[in-house]
Homo-oligomer: A and B are copies of this chain.
Amino acid sequence: MSESAQKKEESGKYNRIIAAATKTFAEKGFFKSTVSDVARAAEVAEGTIYLYFKNKDDLLISIFESSMDMFIREMDQALEGITDVKERLRRLITLHLSLVEAHRELAQVLHIELRQSSMFMREYTGDKLKQYLKFIQDIIEAGQAEGVFNSNADPYVLRRTIFGALDEVGLKWVLSKRKGPLEQFSKQIADLFLNGLTQLKEK
What are the residues of chain B within 8 A of A166 when measuring CB–CB? 164
Task: Give the secondary structure class of A's interface.
Answer: helix
Given A115-B121, A160-B169, A160-B172, CB of A195 within 8 Å of CB of B200: yes
Q: Does A55 contact B (CB under 8 A)?
A: no
Q: Per-residue 0/1 for A148-179: is the Cβ within 8 Å of any B Cβ (1 yes, 0 no)?
A: 00001110011011111111110110000000
A171-203, CB under 8 A of B: which get 1 and which 0? Answer: 110000000000001001101111111111111
Number of this chain's copies in the assembly equals 2
**Chain B residues closer than 8 Å to A163, beta-carbon distance:** 168
Cα–Cα, bound, A189→B115 (Å): 25
Name the one of B152, B158, B171, B189 contacting A161, with C-beta atoms under 8 angstroms: B189
Query: Can you report 27 A-B residue pairs in the complex whose CB atoms are below 8 A from each other?
Result: A31-B118, A115-B116, A115-B121, A154-B185, A154-B188, A157-B188, A157-B189, A158-B192, A160-B165, A161-B169, A161-B192, A163-B168, A164-B164, A164-B166, A164-B168, A164-B169, A164-B171, A165-B165, A165-B168, A191-B201, A192-B193, A193-B196, A195-B196, A195-B197, A195-B201, A195-B203, A196-B196
Apart from A164-B167, A192-B200, what are 16 other A-B pairs with CB-CB below 8 Å? A29-B122, A115-B121, A153-B191, A153-B192, A154-B185, A154-B188, A160-B168, A161-B169, A164-B165, A164-B168, A168-B168, A191-B203, A192-B197, A193-B196, A195-B203, A199-B199
